[in-house]
Amino acid sequence: MTAELKPPISHQDAFLEAYRCLLCGGPLTPAPCILACPAEVDVPSFIGAISVGEPTEAAEIILSANPLGGTCARVCPTEELCEGACVLNSTRQRPVDIGRLERYAMDHAFNEGDLLVPPKPAHNGKKVAVIGAGPAGMTGAFELARLGYKVTLIDSRPATGGLVRSAIAPYRQLRDPLDQETARLWELGVEFRLDTTVDGELLKELEAACDAILLAVGMGKDATTGCKGGNLDGVLASLPFIEKIKSADLPSVGDRVAVIGGGNTAMDVARQSVRLGAKEVTVLYRRSLDEMPAYAVEYEEAIEEGVRFAWLTSPLQYHGNGRVSAIQCSRMELGEEDSSGRRKALPVDGSDFLLEVDTVIEAVGQTPRADFLAIIPGIEIQSGLIVVDPETGATSNPLYFAAGDALGGTTVVEAVRMGKVAALGINANLSE
Ligand SMILES: Cc1cc2nc3c(=O)[nH]c(=O)nc-3n(C[C@H](O)[C@H](O)[C@H](O)COP(=O)(O)OP(=O)(O)OC[C@H]3O[C@@H](n4cnc5c(N)ncnc54)[C@H](O)[C@@H]3O)c2cc1C
Ligand code: SF4
């Protein structure tokens, strides 16, 4: 359906690429690529294993630090993390292609049917419920099961993976290897309760039955601009738009698409619209390039693919007769810094203009799961995010720990890191 942005590499190319690695660092000075990886994957060791023809051993090294190693190989912003830190950058060479080598190792193991599941430990007599089977919950469940806990992983959706399955752009990852990563949890004895939304009643049951509860519920629906005309046909929210594409139900967007927002989701949605055949895709961002939160590489790739940017531009109202046909926009100017430290975008009087469009896609962030969080007794919430001890993932209610986007994370590998922290935090707490 959609070509992969980072397709697999051949055995020969993997060898050649692995030989470029200087295998930096040592026990006292870890390589910069390890330090830049939130999951602390031992990059030189796994690349070293590939270079001596041991890709399964490489996969084992990756999985020992990151149970979602196959997913991260596809979706990690490596240019900002490990590859951005690679020492080869300072010698004017391109960095080692760590992401694709990671994928090579993981694909090799999983294609051979080798799930590389660690030995199942004896049950330690304690039970933990993990609410949310996205990256944070899957990682937390894996680490807890590996430590001997009886783990129940619960999710409203019929399948694991959270936003990886439903929202991450299909040109990065459609679904694979989520099924193998899930099968590893089965093999370790994790019990699954999918298609099950935790409400107040179920929460009480879990509180009575479990020694700890890990909240890995992510964020909720798309936020909206609240512009008048938002209910016209052709005005779409980013998450359902991507989910449709991932389920091969391709939306028809017409020739002219406007994307509202300046984050990585806005870049994904714009680039996806190009792939759907739109001739003019314009991102409307109310500030300027300097303030735009999307990664530089995402912006540059969007430009290469023909996406245009309308800076200092904000939508006021959507017009149309049944279906959207134009956006009334305002030019903006930057004022004083706001509480986020960014300069406030202020409308310029009398600067309104009309932009003709066939489709508008709003990508202005997600809302917190306020209703669900409100039913949990005694947990501190700030600006919709769960407050935890960053060293342990402990919330202000001693039964509850939390991880992932619900704390303000923004990437899969960060959710993996927080899932590991919370699992170790629960273990330390229950071992006292
Ligand atoms: C459009 C988009 C593109 C992205 N692209 C990338 C990318 O390319 N690379 C990258 O690294 N990151 C990307 N991200 C971010 C990444 O997807 C998230 O950081 C990551 O998925 C967070 O994991 P999580 O487990 O915290 O939450 P989620 O993945 O959101 O999972 C939370 C799970 O909890 C479940 N849940 C919630 N409430 C309940 C309840 N009451 N009962 C039962 N289940 C419940 C939900 O159904 C969901 O499955 C993207 C995000 C978006 C929105
Ligand atoms: S920094 Fe680059 S060269 Fe050094 S170990 Fe990491 S990937 Fe290899």
* Cβ 324 under 6 angstroms from ligand 2: no
Q: What is the pLDDT of residue 409?
A: 81
CA of 52 to the centre of ligand 1 (A): 36
The mean of the pLDDT values for the chain is 96
Query: Domain 11-111 falls in which CATH fold?
Result: Fumarate Reductase Iron-sulfur Protein; Chain B, domain 2 (1.10.1060)
In the predicted structure, residue 340 carries a pLDDT above the cut 80 = no
Which ligand is located closest to the Cα atom of residue 43?
A: 2
What element of type H or E holds 269? Answer: helix 264-275
Spans of all domains in the chain: 11-111, 127-220+367-430, 235-362
Which of ligand 2's atoms lies nearest the C-alpha of 23? 5
User: Ramachandran region of residue 320, left (φ > 0), alpha (ψ -120 to 50) or beta?
Assistant: left
Residue nearest atom 2 of ligand 2, based on CA coordinates: 86
| b (16+ CB within 10 A) / e for 247-283 | eeeebebbebbbbbbbbbbbbbbbbbbbbbebebbbb
Question: Atom 4 of ligand 1 has which residue's CA nearest to it?
Answer: 168
- The tens digit of pLDDT for each residue in 112-171 reads 999 999 999 999 999 999 999 999 999 999 999 999 999 999 999 999 999 999 999 998
Q: Which ligand does the CA of 170 lie closest to?
A: 1
Identity of the amino acid at 403: A
CA atoms of 35 and 430, how far apart (whole Å): 29
The ligand whose atoms approach the alpha carbon of 26 most closely is 2
Ligand 1 centre and the CA of 161: distance in Å? 8
Establish whether residue 43 lines the binding site of ligand 2, counting it when its CB lies within 6 angstroms of any ligand atom: yes
The residue whose CB lies within 8 Å of the most ligand 2 atoms, and thus the one to mutate among 19, 45, 61, 88, is: 88
What mean pLDDT do residues 80-93 have?
96
How far is ligand 2, taken at its centre, from the CA of residue 65, in Å? 17
Give the number of other Cβ atoms within 10 Å of residue 18's Cβ.
24
CATH 3.50.50.60 assigned to domain 235-362? The reply is yes
**What is the pLDDT confidence band of residue 420, given thresholds at 50, 70 and 90?**
very high
Between residues 138 and 26, which one has the greater pLDDT? 138
Query: Is the Cβ atom of 24 under 6 angstroms away from ligand 2?
Result: yes
Contact 425, 404 (CB under 8 A): no
CATH number of 127-220+367-430: 3.50.50.60
pLDDT in tens, 206-238: 999 999 999 999 999 999 999 999 999 999 999
Give me the amino acid identity at 373.
L
C-beta of 98 in contact with ligand 2 (< 6 A): yes
User: What gap in Å lies between CA 181 and CA 63, rounded to an integer?
Assistant: 10
- The reply to whether domains 127-220+367-430 and 235-362 share a CATH topology is yes
Distances 428 to 13, 196, 281, 421 between C-alpha atoms, Å: 44, 29, 51, 10
Which residues in 166-307 belong to E strands, given as ranges?
A: 191-193, 212-215, 235-237, 256-260, 280-284
Strand order in the sheet with 212-215: 191-193, 150-154, 127-131, 212-215, 400-402
pLDDT confidence bin for 252, thresholds 50/70/90: very high
**185 Cβ closer than 6 Å to some ligand 2 atom:** no
Distance (Å, rounded) from C-alpha 110 to C-alpha 115? 6
- Would the CB of 32 count as within 6 Å of ligand 2? yes
pLDDT beyond 60 at 290 = yes
pLDDT at position 45 is 97
Cis, peptide link before residue 170, omega less than 30° from 0:
no
Can you list the positions of beta strands (E) in 198-322?
Answer: 212-215, 235-237, 256-260, 280-284, 308-310, 313-321
Quote the ligand 1 centre to 134 CA distance (angstroms): 6
Q: Which of these ranges, 5-9, 94-98, 289-293, 340-344, has the smallest mean pLDDT? A: 340-344
Taking the centre of ligand 1 as the mean of its atom positions, its distance from the CA of residue 48, in whole angstroms, is 32
d(Cα 105, Cα 61) in Å, to the nearest integer? 10
pLDDT digits (tens, 9 = 90+) for 357-370: 999 999 999 999 99
